[in-house]
Chains A and B, each alone.
Chain A
């Protein structure tokens, strides 16, 4: 390579920076710029002076590319299934998406499955326990420990109702999907495997509806207690001495009644939520 015998003058640098040269001339200027630091400096100065906004934009893009935070596994999964960028950041704080929570859910389900196989009425136990899981998720998410930033979130303009709905949908998904997978291995009638879905939905929608009068997590705790009391009452009422065949018919009957009751509860809860949709749930009007 030989040293250049010519250099860019002001006018040429100006026109090149502004993009006003013919392709052939521009190519020749570029060839020269590769070898000549002085002229590069000249053009650089011109370019920034000519379009400061454009260069600030390019710079911010570079900073963004270099410094953009790496997303955690939860956010990456959410993005992959089509959840928006900002929504996935918000959902990433939902406690039921944490590894410890998911492992606990799977452990409970596997244990319940074991009992279902080991005891003649074990399937009923599974069907009674599975609907409780989303409630536990709601308690974990909306309880005092749920969102450590809740006080700042409360003063932010983001719609509280939208936050509540998105998080609840996520609690449902993260508890019911594992339960659905495990329940496929239940013994007995195939429809037992999905018998808990309606009560699960009923308890969760009832929680959301009740949230108009009591804080969400308290509504969930109340319904959880009610459900367990009903289940325990039923269990004791049947008595331990009955023959298995009788118990099996009773189980079928109980499960059918629960299905019908669940549909009624879901309908009522949906009506309540629709009626109050413009008001904020109780704990989002937090007064304490």
Chain B
């Protein structure tokens, strides 16, 4: 059974349709959500995390419709959610901040709750700063704190909105390890601007643009979209969809290659550009 099953989802803010007739299904494993800024990623994830409602379409999360109050509660009990802006009360210590969320997640028995808080802090490598005030933690540490609270209670569904923002390379590797592990036996849906994150931890990818899904499939299927559409040249070709200069002085091109072009192996980034078009090169994925 799929963990998330959505059809024709719509969410409008005034006249803007942030999510505009979107279909998606995910099951066990790690699914990456890619898309330019303003594509509707955060709105979609908030919808799936039961934080915001949808205006039209149908949605089942862990078998329940989040629009129904009782069903929403059932989803929340099995959900771990890292929002894009995961803030914490600055006067709390790292331990207290996660403990506060643990209370909201109905971990009522004090001793068991504290043990669970210690477990998730250990998982994200923050045990040493458990007694440090949130206000004194670095940005990357606060991001990990957000991840720690999402892992409370070993949820069946993990929704992570840009979990790797603000992490340094070492932390990112540790994070990927964590997510890959979390992805065995449960569903993880994460949005990211890092195509590397997708390549290393995700089994499936969903690409959205303008509130619609423009791709859904495996990594290989995504990369296939750019097969024979990547080439190298000594000079920039203006007809290319996107082109950038490499370290060795040559230019990496994505688009329709001219005859006799020196084709190069495609990556996730190239496929993403093929899907989203030239605007993507000017925005954020790189």
Residues of chain A whose beta carbon lies under 8 Å from any beta carbon of chain B: 60-61, 63-64, 67-69, 72, 85-86, 89-90, 92-93, 98, 147-149, 151-158, 163, 280, 285-288
The verdict on B215 contacting chain A, using a C-beta distance below 8 Å, is no
Measured CB to CB, the nearest residue on chain A to B78 is A157
Residues of B within 8 A of A285 (CB): 53
Measured CB to CB, the nearest residue on chain A to B53 is A287
A64 to B149, CA, bound (A): 19
The listed residue (A89, A90, A149, A287) touching B52 by CB distance below 8 A is A287
B contacts with A, residue count (CB < 8 A):
44
Q: How many whole Å from B137's CB to the nearest CB in chain A?
A: 13
The verdict on B251 contacting chain A, using a C-beta distance below 8 Å, is no
| Contact A149 B51, beta carbon cutoff 8 Å | no
Q: How many whole Å from A277's CB to the nearest CB in chain B?
A: 13
Measured CB to CB, the nearest residue on chain B to A95 is B89
| Contact A69 B51, beta carbon cutoff 8 Å | no
| Contact A98 B49, beta carbon cutoff 8 Å | no
A286 to B53, CA, bound (A): 8
| Contact B81 A155, beta carbon cutoff 8 Å | yes
Most buried by A among B49, B50, B96, B106: B96
The verdict on B114 contacting chain A, using a C-beta distance below 8 Å, is yes
A157 to B103, CA, bound (A): 10
The verdict on B73 contacting chain A, using a C-beta distance below 8 Å, is yes
The listed residue (B93, B103, B118) touching A158 by CB distance below 8 A is B103
| Contact B114 A68, beta carbon cutoff 8 Å | yes
| Contact A155 B108, beta carbon cutoff 8 Å | no
- 7 pairs of A and B residues whose beta carbons are closest in the complex: A148-B87, A156-B104, A151-B83, A158-B104, A157-B76, A155-B81, A86-B103
Q: How many whole Å from A232's CB to the nearest CB in chain B?
A: 34
Measured CB to CB, the nearest residue on chain B to A69 is B95
Measured CB to CB, the nearest residue on chain B to A60 is B115
Q: How many whole Å from B47's CB to the nearest CB in chain A?
A: 10
Residues of A within 8 A of B113 (CB): 86
The listed residue (B79, B90, B106) touching A155 by CB distance below 8 A is B79
Residues of A within 8 A of B87 (CB): 148-149, 151
Which residues 87-145 of B have a CB within 8 angstroms of A? 87-93, 95-97, 99-101, 103-106, 108, 110-111, 113-115, 118, 130-131
Residues of B within 8 A of A157 (CB): 73, 76-77, 104-106
Residues of A within 8 A of B52 (CB): 286-288
Residues of B within 8 A of A286 (CB): 51-52
| Other 12 A-B pairs with CB < 8 A, given A67-B118, A92-B100 | A63-B118, A86-B108, A86-B110, A90-B103, A93-B89, A149-B100, A151-B51, A152-B83, A154-B51, A155-B79, A158-B103, A163-B104
The verdict on B85 contacting chain A, using a C-beta distance below 8 Å, is yes
| Known contacts A69-B131, A152-B81, A89 near B76 by CB under 8 Å | no
Q: How many whole Å from A42's CB to the nearest CB in chain B?
A: 30
Measured CB to CB, the nearest residue on chain B to A93 is B89
The listed residue (A64, A69, A155) touching B76 by CB distance below 8 A is A155
The listed residue (A63, A69, A147, A148) touching B96 by CB distance below 8 A is A69
Residues of B within 8 A of A287 (CB): 52-53
Most buried by B among A90, A153, A156: A156
- Could you give 16 example pairs across A and B, Cβ below 8 Å? A63-B118, A69-B99, A92-B100, A93-B100, A149-B87, A151-B86, A153-B101, A153-B104, A154-B50, A155-B50, A155-B81, A157-B76, A158-B104, A158-B105, A285-B53, A288-B52
Residues of B within 8 A of A280 (CB): 69
A210 to B89, CA, bound (A): 27
Measured CB to CB, the nearest residue on chain A to B159 is A155
Q: How many whole Å from A255's CB to the nearest CB in chain B?
A: 39
A153 to B93, CA, bound (A): 18
The listed residue (B13, B89, B95) touching A148 by CB distance below 8 A is B89
Residues of A within 8 A of B146 (CB): 152
A63 to B117, CA, bound (A): 13
Residues of B within 8 A of A148 (CB): 87-90
| Contact B115 A158, beta carbon cutoff 8 Å | no
